[in-house]
A = this chain, B = another copy of it.
Amino acid sequence: MNILFTSAGRRNYLLNYFKEIMGDKGVIIAVDSQASAPALADADLSFTAPSISDTSYIEKLKEIIDDYQVDAVIPLNDLELPLLAKHKIFLESGGAKIIVANENIISICSDKWKTFRFFQKLGIPTPLTFLSLEDTLNALSANILHFPLILKPRWGSGSLNVEIVNNEKELGLAYEWLKTRLKTSSLNNLNLSNSHNTILIQEKIEGQEYGMDILNDFQGKHYDSFVRKKLSMRSGETDRAITVKNKAFSHMGQILAEATRHIGIMDCDFFLVGEKIYFLEMNPRFGGGYPLSHEGGIHVPHIYIEWLKGGNNIDRFNNYVGDRTFSKCSRIVEVPKPVFDQNSTKVSFQRNLSL
């Protein structure tokens, strides 16, 4: 069985979890737009691909899927999820399975305003959120909203461009500055559309932050969820966490899973304040916190392989235990030099190939 990871980036652990299962019985293929992406060093076969925003991206992926008889594609970057969902039928035409949620759920997850409204409709507590300075000031005047507040880009991931403000003066200042900064960065990305309502203003919840991996099968049926109490973040990713087993959390995971019917794993963030759970964000893909859950005993790669084989004997891969602390540190890999294949336009780094 051959598995292709797109936007493989720095997800070496994930590729290696799959490699350990496959042994000689499959090839792990990694694609990234940057030749220095460390995951390219650990894959059996690596390709640099055009950027996601390049019109040829999907064609190039299809070429790799066909050339290397790929059985499953696992995308790892938020920005390419809508693209892969949109072209799913084309990409799957040769028999490969694209493990990606549907376009509607991806759109709800990538737009934090839609996420807020989604939680509200489900009756799930979520921080009060506003899309304009005016609405925010009105809510403050009406005493239904209180400082401190968080400003963040409506679309955006990681901790980039997140500001905390403690009073009206700071709110005005930070809002102006963030608006300027987002305009500059969108100009740099040649993405001029949608310059209005790009900043969310959100109640800052003072509580303990958690991460949760919610696992559905490939038909969107819920299996289980796996919770981590976050100890620290780094570059917007969970860096240190304690595994947690808790029925109330699992119940919330199930409610969400049944509402999204997402495919495979979905990473969520929530806050616990007293006994109240506030949901914040969802990302329908492997999140940066997954390896911390994995080390805690849930083996999603094994479960994916079982499902891809058409089986469902998966409980044996679920040995999740609570109260274990895991932390990330750095591993250094040498990135191989590209080898130019004269018979194709692809630049690849062929290593340990055992097709």
Chain A residues in the interface with B (C-beta under 8 A): 10-13, 35-39, 41, 163-164, 166, 169-170, 173-174, 176-177, 180-181, 184, 231-232, 234-235, 240, 291-292, 294-295, 324-335, 337
Known: A10-B328, A12-B330, A36-B231. A180 touches B170 (CB 8 A): yes
Q: Give the contacting residue for A331; candidates B231, B325, B330; CB below 8 A.
A: B330
A335's partner among B39, B169, B173, B327 (CB-CB below 8 A) is B327
User: Which of the listed residues A164, A231, A291, A325 has the most CB atoms from chain B within 10 Å of its own CB?
Assistant: A325
- The interface residues of chain B lying within 8 Å CB-to-CB of A232 are 36
Task: Report chain B residues within 8 Å CB of A184.
Answer: 164, 166
Cβ contact within 8 Å between A329 and B329: no
Bound: A128/B331 CA distance, A? 36
Q: A324's contact among B37, B177, B334, by CB below 8 Å, is which?
A: B334
Counting from the closest, the 10 A-B pairs by CB-CB distance are: A38-B327, A331-B331, A38-B329, A12-B329, A10-B329, A325-B335, A177-B177, A328-B330, A36-B240, A291-B332
How far, in whole Å, are A291 and B38 apart by their CA atoms in the complex?
A: 14
Q: Verify A326–B332 contact, CB threshold 8 A.
A: yes
Q: How many copies does the complex hold?
A: 2
Whether B13 pairs with A327 at a CB distance below 8 angstroms is: no
Whether A330 contacts B177 by the Cβ 8 Å rule is no
Known contacts A36-B327, A331-B331; 20 further A-B pairs (Cβ under 8 A): A10-B327, A10-B330, A12-B329, A13-B332, A36-B325, A38-B327, A169-B180, A173-B173, A173-B176, A176-B177, A235-B235, A291-B330, A325-B334, A325-B335, A326-B333, A326-B335, A327-B333, A327-B335, A330-B330, A330-B331
A170 closest partner in B (C-beta): B180
B-chain residues with CB within 8 Å of residue A39 when the two chains form the complex: 329
Most B CB contacts (10 A, CB to CB) among A38, A163, A166, A295 go to A38
Q: Kindly provide the distance from the CB of A74 to the nearest chain B CB, expressed in whole angstroms.
A: 17
Least CB distance from A27 to B in Å reads: 20
Kindly provide the distance from the CB of A149 to the nearest chain B CB, expressed in whole angstroms.
13
Task: Report the Cα distance A333→B294, complex, angstroms.
Answer: 12
Q: How far is the CB of A37 from chain B (nearest CB, A)?
A: 7
Min CB gap A232→B, angstroms: 7
When distances are taken between beta carbons in the complex, the residues of chain B under 8 Å from A326 are 332-335
A-B contacts, 20 of them at CB < 8 A, read A10-B327, A10-B328, A10-B329, A12-B330, A13-B331, A13-B332, A36-B325, A36-B327, A37-B327, A166-B184, A177-B177, A291-B332, A295-B334, A324-B334, A325-B335, A326-B334, A328-B331, A328-B332, A329-B330, A329-B333
